[in-house]
Amino acid sequence: MTKTSVSLNTTSFIGSTKRETVSRNSWVPNTDMFVTDGSLVIKVELAGMKREDLELSIDGQILIISGKRPDGCRAGKCTFQIMEINYGTFERELPVPPEFDISKAQAAYQNGFLRIDIPRAPSSKRTISVSEE
């Protein structure tokens, strides 16, 4: 059981209005997002994919996960009785709440699941002392 890291490209596009769209030739992977004591965890089901077929990027507080699952298993001509597995390109855009520091996200791909951990941002609260005049 080995863990493989996935690099996270941190780029920002000012004024971007792109949002999730799904065309006939794309699909959206099953995704869980939950909060633990110290971080936001995103888990994406991507069975049958290679790490190098995945791309992660950041647009402000939006995490963008994209890639392509190749269909290398089908015979040239076949008639499906059931087809429930999605192939081809996908893109998933997930808004990350501002209390999490997306620039410190870490990702790992293992056993068909991509897991992204985003730590809580340090609190910006501070006290201000009042002096006597």
pLDDT tens track for 44-61: 999 989 999 999 999 999
Domain ranges, residue 45:
4-15+22-72+82-119
Q: How much is the pLDDT for 74?
A: 67
124 located within any domain = no
CATH number, domain of 54, equals 2.60.40.790
Q: How many domains does the chain have?
A: 1
The 3-state secondary structure of 39-104, one letter per residue: EEEEEEECCCCCHHHEEEEEECCEEEEEEEECCCCCCCCCCCCCCCCCCEEEEEEEECCCCECHHH
Q: Report pTM.
A: 0.73
